[in-house]
Amino acid sequence: MKYLLLVVSIFGLDEGIKQRIDKKEPLGKERRVPKLPVVIEKYYNNGAALNLLAKKPKIMLGLHSACMAGLMTIYGFVLRKGNTGLKTGMSMMVGGGLSNLWDRIHKKHVVDYIRFDTPWKRFSRIVFNISDFFIFIGAAVSMLFAYR
């Protein structure tokens, strides 16, 4: 039950932030966070990471849906037999993945809103959302605990 609560919490947190960003922030306008290398910038991502397949939204939706179906199937097995670390990591991935899929289905794009001001220009142009961070962290945690 606590793992499903984690999924719902991640989904709700990111959707709440996305709704606020969508209503309050103009598209493409930067707002720097004082004393941090963080920039708030609303960006509509039609594709996957780095705008992969941005010009093929139906294919992107199909791939995202298929990946989530596979992940949810594995997640069902892990909830029954997996260890705590694996359950936690997969819950993070599912919560983040569902939030981004929800956007893709209902808005036809994913709302991203956080980027980092770094010396690496390529990295500085990538815009993320909270779900992306949970997906990355969840994947790392899952890999760490998958062999236990």
**CA-closest candidate to residue 43, choices 27, 61, 57, 30:** 27
- Nearest Cα residue to 64 out of 96, 104, 91, 15: 104
**What value does the mean pLDDT take over residues 2-12?**
98
- Report the predicted TM-score, pTM, of the whole model to 2 decimal places: 0.92
C-alpha distances (whole Å) from 91 to each of 9, 45, 85, 103, 126 are: 10, 23, 10, 19, 24
In the chain, where the domains are located:
2-145
The one-character DSSP state at 42 is: E
Tens digit of pLDDT for each residue in 85-144?
999 999 999 999 999 999 999 999 999 999 999 999 888 899 999 999 999 999 999 999
Smallest Cα–Cα separation from 111: which of 132, 90, 94?
132
Give residue-wise pLDDT tens across range 51-90.
Answer: 778 788 889 999 999 999 999 999 999 999 989 999 999 9
